[in-house]
Amino acid sequence: MTHLHFRIIVIPEVNVEPEINVLGRYVEQCGLVVQTIKRVQLGKTEQPHCPEILEYIVDIRAESQTVISNKNKIHVYKDMVTEWCRVTRSIFRERPLLQFSDNECFIRKRKSCHSKLKLQNVSFGVQPRLGEYISYATIGENSTATFYHDLKELEIVTESLIDGLAGLDFLTVETIYSLKILYTHIRNIIVSIDGEFFEVYLDLLHPPLFFKETQKHGITRHNRVEHRVLPFGVDRLVIGKSNVVRLKFYYVDAFYEILSCLRFRSDKIPIHFIKMDVRSSLPPTVPPSNFYHFGCTYMWTAIVNRTFLILEQAADIGNSLNKLVSYSLQSKNCLEKVLTTLLFLIDTGRFMNYWNVIDKLFAHHVSIQKDCSFEDISVPEKCRLIRRAIVTPTRIMLFPPDLMCENRILRNFDSEFFLRVTFKDDDFTPMNFRMYDESVFETVVTRPVNSGILIGERHYQLLAWSSSQLREHGVSMYAKDSKGITAHAIRRWTEIDPRTTMNIPKCLARIGQCFSQTEDTLHIPLNNAYVRFERDIEGGFDPSSGKPYVFSDGIGRISAKLLEKVRKTFRHKTECCALQIRYSGCKGMLVLDPTLRGADIVFRESMRKFDCRGQGHTKLEIVKKSGPIPLRLNRPLVAILHDLGVEPRVFLRLQEVMLQNLIDMLLDEEKAANYLNFRTPFSIFKFKELTASGICLTQEPFFRTLLLSLHRYYIGL
């Protein structure tokens, strides 16, 4: 007897539990004898009373009448795959999905690549139900696929063109169009097999990346240039919302070896098998809808921008949307929470009917609406919730609001109408001009910046960006709010006029100064009684610029009296003598000057970046304050101190004391508690109290491991 272990996944109908005995009969039709069959009880979601919304999974142990060694057991699994696809072909309702997840199910053979496998075509679509695939576009007739297992990358060459080139350096030019899929982007692998073809369905976290490679061949030298381009042969939005790529291979005997190598290089994700029915269709359109609450509209837009899947799962999209609108009228907060959870589930790639999930989750949230667990996210003081979006070549991905520290703009305008936008490639990597075709930047950056982003009835338009956003290739956008304020009105409020002699990049950088994340403190009137401007301290001669050195560049002074008032506004009453600040059009540092008289603050001319005197600009904003930092002796510091006359024996003595402390903490309870309190950030553990209660830190396994880890870290082993 040969013992086998696998699972079967079913998406049940509403309030209908699948018959386990029927699933057992499907297994027996594959020539196996079922030994045990039981449902897998999946863990609940993070919410303690949330109803189970995941798929129905059955764990099966069976045996084959064939007696073979464990080494050849893989042939039984391979034969079962073919039989399972044959058996499920005759099931017309939603089909059960066979899942192999154990290592024994696959061939343990290391191979660097499987190259130039013939493909009939490549399709892009979704899998709305198990056993059903909807194709929206097909490219790459008679293309080839190469699995680079060591690189964890699949490359599909769809077209190769060779042209003659007149010239002395190069004789021919070859243009290769390809798309690449990283193994790390694969969420699920589904396989369908028949006699002539085997089809691999890759459920992807990110869309495939399209490339155009130009190879110039000559007698003496060769040249190769590869650029990232927009999808060719198909609409880019179809690529972005089609999360399942279908690869239709001509049948080869090594197909199971290919799947095994793919599985072991893809973090050992399970491989699923089913007979898939394929039909072609036009991409679905999203009917207009009004949820009477922008939070619900935003999350629904985020979902339909992710994938066509939820639209295809609806029996009648019009009736389904009307149901969502009625949910919104009943409880807009509940529906927004449901759609937020649904977006997370879609990103995980689980097999389920999402409309059933909506109904269950909404009923659950309504039932606990008065419970304390239903309360909204607690926003800390001086923080705001800001929505964010990522613009890629194939889609605009919207995300739930994130916590963000306040800045001058957020304190004076409604954070509900802000949108943080980042420009990235489809796999969320940064873009650069060297690797990307110009059309990609036109689509990803130029159009959204010039035309804005439309979400529901809100039209977000470019506002500005901070220096940190610029490094991350991002901007801030603002939609017309309930008071009629627009992005243009906010830029006017900053009192920075782009029509001055200031160039455009510097002008936008100055506006971005208002986006620095700061903590507001006191209102300081901008007059001579409180604020004074002085010239910088200059001297010497800088040969590189031909100007004097500026010794006070960006450094001003603050009185002890005002510094004490500012310190009292901090949440943590820590002593400080220097502040990194933003005030009006000034930026830089303020340091304590106990001798300052006649004003509370003295700014240097180098700190004044632009002029503004409005009421909203005269609060002293703190970016960062000075504080103690740990000082450790390292080689450069030891060398400096030695050059200044410190004897070597002093350093050797310090090293000896440190080593002795590291040894003592492994043996002495009191020293172990003191060391853990000093060296670890675990505020939840009161180590001295634990020791007093009778817990032995030097022997208890967890704390002993923690002490050994600290010992290895500081010894440098």
Residue 618 maps to a domain: yes
Distance, CA of 299 to CA of 336 (rounded, Å) = 7
Low-confidence ranges of the chain (pLDDT < 50): 45-49, 166, 374
pLDDT of amino acid 42:
67
Please list the alpha-helical segments (H only) found in 585-698: 635-643, 648-664, 669-679, 687-692
Residue 107, in any domain of the structure = no
- Does one domain contain both 118 and 252? yes
- Which residue, 599, 625, 651, sits at the end of a domain? 625
Domain containing 338: what range? 294-371
Terminal CA-to-CA distance of the chain, rounded, Å?
51
What CA–CA distance (Å, rounded) separates 272 from 250? 19
What is the spatial order of strands in the sheet that 396-405 belongs to? 396-405, 383-391, 418-423, 474-478, 458-464, 453-455
Asked which of 324, 344, 371 is the last residue of a domain, the reply is: 371
Same domain, 463 and 526: no
pLDDT for position 46: 46
Domain boundary among 100, 122, 145: 100
* Tens digits of residue pLDDT in 414-432: 999 999 999 999 999 999 8
Same domain, 465 and 536: no
Pairing of strands 586-592, 555-558: parallel
What is the reported pLDDT for 48?
Answer: 43
Q: Note whether 120 and 250 are same-domain residues.
A: yes
Say if CB 335 and CB 327 are below 8 A apart: yes
- The 8-class DSSP code of residue 606 comes to G
Shared domain check, 425 and 526: no
Question: 181 with 140: CB under 8 angstroms?
Answer: no
Task: List the structure tokens of 332.
Answer: 């807009």
Angle of helix 73-88 versus helix 20-28 axis, rounded to 10? 120
- Looking at the domain assignment, is residue 378 inside a domain? no
Examine residue 249 and state whether it is found in any structural domain, yes or no. yes
Is 120 in the same domain as 240?
A: yes
State whether 61 and 95 are in the same domain: yes
Kindly state whether residues 537 and 613 are assigned to the same domain: yes
Quote the CA–CA distance of 558 and 427 in Å, as a whole number: 48
* b/e sequence 671-707, b meaning 16+ C-beta within 10 Å: bbbbbbeeeeeeeeeebeebbeeeeebbeeeebeebb
Q: Are residues 125 and 210 both part of a single domain?
A: yes
Residues 510 and 550 in one domain: no
The secondary structure of the chain in percent helix, strand, coil, rounded to multiples of 5, reads 35, 30, 35
- CATH number of the domain bearing residue 58: 3.30.70
- For the record, the structure tokens of 105 come out as 């199910």
Is 250 found in the same domain as 127? yes
CB-CB contact of 444 with 236 (8 Å)? no
Say if residue 427 is exposed, middle or buried (CB neighbours under 10 Å; 0-12, 13-18, 19+).
Answer: middle
Q: Quote the number of domains for the chain.
A: 6
Residue at 289 is within a domain: no
Task: Quickly count: other Cβ atoms within 10 Å of residue 647's Cβ.
Answer: 10
Q: Does 108 reside within a domain?
A: no
| Residue 10, in any domain of the structure | yes
In a domain, 264, yes or no: no
Q: Are 485 and 497 in contact (CB under 8 A)?
A: no
Report the b/e string of 86-104 with b at 16+ CB within 10 A. ebbbeeeebbbbbbbeeee
Q: What was the pLDDT predicted at 362?
A: 92
**How far apart are alpha carbons 237 and 504 in whole angstroms?**
33
Per-residue pLDDT, 420? 96
Looking at the fold, whether 185 and 131 belong to one and the same domain comes out as yes
